[in-house]
Amino acid sequence: MANLTRLYQYSFAAIYPLYLQKVTKKGRTEAELQTVITWLTGYDATGLAAQIKKENTLENFFAECPAFNPAASLITGVVCGVRVENLTEPLEQKIRYLDKLVDELAKGKALAKILRSAPH
């Protein structure tokens, strides 16, 4: 749990440039990164900028997110050595969902596939 506490205290402002570097190095854009984050959290560009400026922790970033996407449960796979769908701690799972989406973007997956939609 100590590792999780440390993870939760990371600043979103510190992690965002790492996400950006990861995706742009692979030919993706900041707009695509923001689209992915917006889909998951409901933050718009202004809201993201405010979170970065406030240097909110990941814990507060997710606590304050306007509309966490219910389709996030469709995100599956391994990121950081853990299978995201099997995580039982809700905040850890939300953080790893975001990591997984950023990984998929960096790996060249089509945006339409990254932004999962619930089956009709």
Q: Does the residue 77 lie in any domain?
A: yes
Domain count along the chain: 1
CATH code assigned at 85: 1.10.8.290
Q: Does the residue 119 lie in any domain?
A: no
| Cα torsion 71, 96, 102, 20: sign | positive
Summarize the confidence of residues 67-95 as an average pLDDT: 94
Report pLDDT for 120.
43
The pLDDT > 70 percentage for the chain reads 95
Q: Does the residue 120 lie in any domain?
A: no
Summarize the confidence of residues 16-40 as an average pLDDT: 97
Report pLDDT for 5.
77
With b for 16 or more beta-carbon neighbours within 10 A and e for fewer, the 3-24 pattern comes to eeeebbeebbeebbeebbebbe
Q: Does the residue 20 lie in any domain?
A: yes
Give the model confidence (pLDDT) of 38-53 as tens digits: 999 999 999 999 999 9
Confidence of residue 1 (pLDDT cuts 50, 70, 90): low
- What does pLDDT average to over the chain? 92
Confidence of residue 100 (pLDDT cuts 50, 70, 90): very high
Q: Does the residue 23 lie in any domain?
A: yes
Residue-number span of the structural domain to which 34 is assigned? 2-114
Q: Does the residue 40 lie in any domain?
A: yes
Quote the Cα angle for 69-72-77, to 5°: 160
